[in-house]
Structure 1
Amino acid sequence: MALYFQAYGPDYPLEIGTNKAVMQTALETPKDGLEHFQWYVMRDRERHALAGSCIVELDLSLKIGKVTGVTVGKNYQGRGVANRLIEYAANAAFETHDVNSLYSTSRTVALSSQAMLLKNGFMPLGIFPNARKIKTYETLSLMGRFRPGVLEKRKPVAIIPTDLVPMAKTVEKIIGHPLYVAADQCPSLPPVIGENENRRLEFEFIDATHFVHKRSEELFKQDEKGTFYPFHRPNLLIFEPTLGLEIFACFTKKDHYCVIISTNRSLRSLGRGLKNLIFAMQEQGIYYTELLVDLDNFSSLCYLMENNFIPSAIYPAMREEDGAMHDYVLLTRTMVPLDFSDIDAHPSLIPYFKLYTEQWASRNLKAFGDHTWGQA
């Protein structure tokens, strides 16, 4: 645990590196369970000290894993410790478990954290802009590594929104496989339900971890697709009484990060009222929101993109269903001003930053008279 405090101090947002109870639970999780941790450390036997640490979190029911918590002691940096830990941990995960892919996130303020993943076969798939607050709000990269043959089992996607094409093309070049057949423009948004009756949408926030998790279990039994968001558990329920809409989310208060995991009915039922939800979430201290959407879900992708959610990454072959692999799009919306001034990104990540900033500008900077932002 001292390694994490040495690297991040009290600002590290993930409990796996700073919460003793969470770390103890991870260590005690049965290794034969569907969800468990593999924790690797490298020791300096001469000094009786820990040189580095690496954690692999596995969900064998979803056949996916996450490499996280890679940390190296101050006296051992620059000696290949992190690279060797990741190499050993990733190879062990594929060799000893039936997982289709591993993913990891890396900070983009230093090349070293990105390079150690790239050296071990992880491919850049996108970014999480302003996703985590350490000392300031930082952008993370998303990288994935796939079991041989998995990408060839992907379900063909017939059509995607036109605005998603640049991101899809970028990922296609990385993985060497096509993601879609055709593209089409998105339709106009429908009006919010009840709008013509002068009814206002109101959102109630229920912050009760055990209750929210229990309610989610009751609603979504056996619904793996509807609750698919690996390694995230709901701890926040957002309720809209007019529509009877229940939104289950995972909210990290420390860095104002929120993931919408599942809903009891489509978010599209909000119509143009989704912006009211986002503003209500901001009032509760949520400054970053993300969702995972199946690449084959044309209507949901259009709806979210029309509401200023920006495609930030595409994770190919993320979920398996009946032997076929499904691709997913990560869509994000940040309420914190973008600041990429401290970015030190690997060249393979630069296209994702470029795509994100272009889409952010096109959605948020409007034309004024004869002048359009971005044009001289």
Structure 2
Amino acid sequence: MSVERLRETRRIGGRRIVLREARRTDAAAIAALFSRIYKGKYPLEFGNNVAVLKSEIADPSRAMWLVAQDAAGRGLVGAILFLCDAQNRMCKVLGGVVLPEYRRGGLGTTLLKRGLRFMTRQARVADVLYGTTRTVSEGPSKMVAEAGFHKLGIFPNAVQIEELEHLNLDVYLTDRALRLRRRTPYLYAPFASIYDIARRQLGLERAHVVTQRDPLKLTKKKIMLSYDGDPARAAALFGRYSEQKRISNSFFPFHSPNAVLSAQDGGADVFLWNGGVGKQTMILGFRSDYASHHDLLDAVALAVQNSGAAYVELLVDAYDYVIQQEAYTAKYIPSAYFPAMRLAGDGHRDDYFVVSRTFRIIDFTSAYVTRESLPYLRSYMRSYEALYIEPLKRGDAR
């Protein structure tokens, strides 16, 4: 890279630290940081692949790796990645890593704050930033809180490192994002609880809750799906249907399909991103000829569970109570609320729910849950009981 967009020296934890944008020649050193901390178990590809790191560093319009270097000549001691979505004026923050002996003095927080300021005030490419934090200790949650992020949800069993872990959703909203936010979501009633938590946190308006909806019920005859794990074929089919405007529920930034589930009767194709050593699945959109989609979403969950996944996730429009009801009927639980996530064509920013299903035991006994996250966890568990326990009490479980 010919010009560094960011470079400065600070004294942090008693040491002189250079904060700068990474160069392609830093890729191996960044990979070494991940190797030392995660010992090859980091769940995303850049944590183990120097070629991926080099490609990200080489594309400053899409990504910025911000690194911390010991000015005494001891090499890189920390790094963090900011992925950019120019269309939605959004950044995803991930890959934060700092050597243990350099954590005193808040180097991780400094990296995060400096990158955030660059994206929102200097480059001015983002109105919204978000990331997820682990719940194995207090440190990650403390770091994002000090940078001004809000905890807006929790995802049980969302990632596997040593073992399955839960993640928090952390969102940073600029004043501009909140000004442009589209007001008054339309909610299917079971989604109101999690919205109200976010509303109280951020001072949002009350939503319109739709209660007069005929109930949906999963059919006993399941949709049969065939799996194709070829990323090139999945991407090509997704692109073709997108050009034909035949993809529904297709907003999922920073992910591209690497697999597709196709209904054996030809009625649907569901596009997936599989990651996290095969334990995570994201539904990126679907082409469907079915009148409603609750049976399809249920079939997807069963298919990815049978493939070994522990967790599946879907983004749901906060103004579309129909897809909310379909997802809930398919036992996807409202897990997080993301205000002002998507920049729409009319200039407003739209809110989204994150809904998820997990196929493993939910155990929070060793997790660090913040005061901000606890209401979301309680809301999640109430929905879990309503969907998975109450039917047994009524005797109508399938």
TM-score (norm 2): 0.85
Q: Compute the displacement of 1:274 (Å).
A: 4.1
Q: Give the 3-state SS of the residue equivalent to 2:54 in structure 1.
A: helix
CA distance in 1, matches of 2:102, 2:296: 52
CA distance in 2, matches of 1:46, 1:335: 49
Q: After superposition, where does 1:248-259 map in structure 2 within 5 Å?
A: 248-252=271-275, 254-259=277-282
* Aligned AA (2:106): G
Note if 1:216 corresponds to 2:238: yes
Preserved CA contact (<8 Å) 2:57 2:63: yes
Preserved CA contact (<8 Å) 2:133 2:140: yes
- Give 1:338's match in structure 2, choosing from 342, 362, 365: 362
Preserved CA contact (<8 Å) 1:133 1:255: no
Preserved CA contact (<8 Å) 2:313 2:356: yes
Deviations 1:229-263 (A, max 9, x none): 11111000100031420111101161410000011
Q: Compute the displacement of 1:201 (Å).
A: 2.7
Note if 1:357 corresponds to 2:381: yes
- Give 2:71's match in structure 1, choosing from 42, 45, 58: 45
The residue that corresponds to 1:87 in the other structure is: 113
CA distance in 1, matches of 2:107, 2:33: 13
The residue that corresponds to 2:83 in the other structure is: 57
* Aligned AA (2:251): F
Preserved CA contact (<8 Å) 1:131 1:140: yes
The residue that corresponds to 1:246 in the other structure is: 269
The residue that corresponds to 2:153 in the other structure is: 126
Q: Compute the displacement of 1:203 (Å).
A: 0.8
The residue that corresponds to 1:28 in the other structure is: 58
Preserved CA contact (<8 Å) 2:339 2:350: yes
The residue that corresponds to 2:15 in the other structure is: none
The residue that corresponds to 1:148 in the other structure is: 175
* Aligned AA (1:48): R
Aligned-residue identity in percent: 25
Q: Compute the displacement of 1:2 (Å).
A: 1.5
CA shift in 2, pair 1:75/1:119, >3 Å: same
* Aligned AA (2:132): T
Bigger mean CA offset, 287-296 vs 217-226: 217-226
Q: Give the 3-state SS of the residue equivalent to 1:66 in structure 2.
A: strand
The residue that corresponds to 2:104 in the other structure is: 78
The residue that corresponds to 2:371 in the other structure is: 347
* Aligned AA (1:363): L
Q: Give the 3-state SS of the residue equivalent to 2:162 in structure 1.
A: coil
Preserved CA contact (<8 Å) 1:293 1:329: yes
Question: Where do 5+ consecutive residues of structure 2 fail to align?
Answer: 1-30
Deviations 1:325-368 (A, max 9, x none): 11000000000110111111221111111111222122211376
The residue that corresponds to 2:209 in the other structure is: 182
Give RMSD over aligned pairs.
Answer: 2.3
Preserved CA contact (<8 Å) 1:161 1:183: yes
CA shift in 2, pair 1:310/1:83, >3 Å: same
- Give 1:117's match in structure 2, choosing from 144, 147, 152: 144
CA shift in 2, pair 1:276/1:39, >3 Å: closer
- Give 1:206's match in structure 2, choosing from 225, 228, 231: 228
CA shift in 2, pair 1:331/1:50, >3 Å: same
Question: Where do 5+ consecutive residues of structure 1 fail to align?
Answer: 372-376
CA shift in 2, pair 1:165/1:270, >3 Å: closer
CA distance in 1, matches of 2:335, 2:289: 21
Note if 1:323 corresponds to 2:350: no
CA distance in 2, matches of 1:90, 1:214: 34
* Aligned AA (1:348): E
Q: Give the 3-state SS of the residue equivalent to 1:150 in structure 2.
A: helix
TM-score (norm 1): 0.90
CA shift in 2, pair 1:368/1:90, >3 Å: closer
CA distance in 1, matches of 2:289, 2:160: 30
* Aligned AA (1:173): R
CA shift in 2, pair 1:359/1:368, >3 Å: closer
Q: Give the 3-state SS of the residue equivalent to 1:341 in structure 2.
A: coil
CA distance in 2, matches of 1:77, 1:268: 54
Note if 1:170 corresponds to 2:193: no
Q: Give the 3-state SS of the residue equivalent to 2:114 in structure 1.
A: helix
Preserved CA contact (<8 Å) 2:127 2:176: no
CA distance in 2, matches of 1:27, 1:309: 36
CA shift in 2, pair 1:268/1:124, >3 Å: farther
